[in-house]
Amino acid sequence: MRAARAAFWLRAAPAVFILAWGGNHFTPLLSLYRDIGHYSVVSVDLFLATYVLGLIPGLLVSGPLSDRYGRKPLTIIGVILGIAASVILALCFRSEVLMCAGRMLAGIGVGIGMAVGTSWLKELSMAPFDKSADATAGARRPSLTLTLGFGLGAGASGVLAQWGPWPTITPYALHIILSTAALLALWKAPETVVPETTHSGQRATSLLDDLRVPLASHLRFRRVILPAAPWIFATAGVAYAVIPMLEGERLGTMQLGYATLLTVLTLGTGALIQPFTARINAATGGRAILLGMTTMTAGLIVAAINAYYLSLVAGAVSAVLLGASYGIALVSGLVEIQRIATGRDLAGLTGVFYSLSYIGFLLPMALAGLAGFTTYTVLLGACAVVCLACLALVSSGLRRTAF
């Protein structure tokens, strides 16, 4: 019976994995859309931005809704929205408006996966569903599932688009097939949320009350999470959106392959380092997030230098550094959230954390808009300086808000 319970989280994990896949399998295709679709750099970055516009409402609303109606129904809705997004993106390649609509739907689906799915996996990684899990499993399993989905989705789509048939269709077809399989796996996944009711059977709180996340004003959240979170995906975006674009003229037809390589390097490094984050946190006295942000700063400095010299190897080194920082900071942030949150606030506060993190995905579009005024070397160097300043704020916050 214990072995069966320990496997409960594995029944929900494929849905979270495929939701992450659907959010990032678009990323290595950016150069494809510039070359074949003749979209401008700003237009392509707009596709990333509209993804964030769908993602943030999905993160903020789906968590409280899942507290009210359950994790499982919301996760199913997320997978269905992901399928709809892939259908639109596969069939509407020539329409910028519909491409933005498809990306927005994908963002909503990923928002559900990140806020609801990760909370569900966390709950399935503790008693009574899994009595053998260690103390960090609730943070490690969700973040690793997401990172593997982000990385493998990008890798598979990039390979199919570079060397497979129908490059604008095949990646999305694969996602639809895998999403259908994930829905089937959800069938026997247990629900972890029992909505609170009064003696008369009415819900104990209104939907508006559920949407409030009071712990977002927690001192630890404001001093530690707030200055760190936006850099998690900002630096990842630099690795697999900005660097390949800068190298584009040198690579010719292999730009898509290089973009895929950097995406896999970034997210693969993030996935590989996440299981060790608990040890890093213990060795640093609960300050692993500082190591993550220090590595971010180093990666941005390498990226800034590489924007001038345009070395494929330096670009890859920057991607590894930024990927490592992404993995450490993501798990560290989730551990902080789980220390702050109560059971009823977990999904909502997780959604706020991921919303702040994904605001950083707007950085590539901001850099593209500013590139007309100065060089990417200057812009990325400025990002490194601001990241360093945020590192100082987080360090101060950790000292002043110790649990």
| Domain assignment of residue 180, yes or no | yes
Residue type, 400: R
Query: What domain range is 378 assigned to?
Result: 2-185+216-400
| Domain assignment of residue 203, yes or no | no
The pLDDT tens digits of the residues spanning 337-379 come to: 888 886 667 777 887 888 899 888 889 889 988 998 999 999 9
Domains in the chain: how many in total? 1
| Domain assignment of residue 57, yes or no | yes
Give the pLDDT score at 232.
Answer: 92
Instruction: Tell me the CA distances in angstroms from 38 to 44, 164, 376, one per residue in order.
Output: 10, 21, 22
Residue type, 155: G
Instruction: Tell me the CA distances in angstroms from 285 to 81, 96, 278, one per residue in order.
Output: 41, 49, 11
User: 310: domain CATH number?
Assistant: 1.20.1250.20
Give the pLDDT score at 19.
Answer: 95
Please name the residue that has the structure tokens 């330096």. Answer: 314
With H, G, I as helix, E, B as strand and everything else as coil, classify residue 203: strand
Give the pLDDT score at 210.
Answer: 66
| Domain assignment of residue 210, yes or no | no
Give the pLDDT score at 319.
Answer: 95
Q: Count Cβ atoms within 10 A of the Cβ of residue 366 and give its class: 0-12 exposed, 13-18 middle, 19 or more buried.
A: middle
pLDDT by residue, tens only, the chain of 403 residues? 444 444 788 899 999 999 999 988 887 887 788 778 778 877 887 887 788 889 888 888 888 888 788 899 999 999 999 999 999 999 998 899 999 999 999 999 998 988 899 889 988 988 778 777 776 777 788 888 988 898 889 889 989 988 889 999 999 999 999 999 999 999 889 998 876 554 445 555 666 666 677 777 788 889 999 999 999 989 888 998 899 888 876 777 777 888 889 988 998 898 889 888 878 988 888 889 999 999 999 999 999 999 999 999 999 999 999 999 999 998 899 888 888 886 667 777 887 888 899 888 889 889 988 998 999 999 999 999 999 999 999 999 998 876 5
Say which DSSP state 197 is in: B
CA 251 to chain centre: 28
| Three state DSSP letters for the chain | CHHHHHCHHHHHHHHHHHHHHHHHCCHHHHHHHHHCCCCCHHHHHHHHHHHHHHHHHHHHHHHHHHHHHCHHHHHHHHHHHHHHHHHHHHHCCCCHHHHHHHHHHHHHHHHHHHHHHHHHHHHHCCCCCCCCCCCCHHHHHHHHHHHHHHHHHHHHHHHHHHHCCCCCCHHHHHHHHHHHHHHHHHHHCCCCCCCCECCCCCECCCHHHHHCCHHHHCHHHHHHHHHHHHHHHHHHHHHHHHHHHHCHHHHHHHHHHHHHHHHHHHHHHHHHHHHHHHHHHHHCCCCHHHHHHHHHHHHHHHHHHHHHHCCHHHHHHHHHHHHHHHHHHHHHHHHHHHHHCCCCCHHHHHHHHHHHHHHHHHHHHHHHHHCCCCCHHHHHHHHHHHHHHHHHHHHHHHHHCCC
| Domain assignment of residue 202, yes or no | no
Q: For the whole model, what pTM was predicted?
A: 0.79
Give the pLDDT score at 202.
Answer: 55
| Domain assignment of residue 110, yes or no | yes
User: CB of 128 within 8 A of CB of 7?
Assistant: no
CA atoms of 338 and 218, how far apart (whole Å): 13
CA atoms of 185 and 332, how far apart (whole Å): 29
| Domain assignment of residue 76, yes or no | yes
With H, G, I as helix, E, B as strand and everything else as coil, classify residue 13: helix
User: CB of 246 within 8 A of CB of 376?
Assistant: yes
Give the pLDDT score at 14.
Answer: 95
| Domain assignment of residue 191, yes or no | no
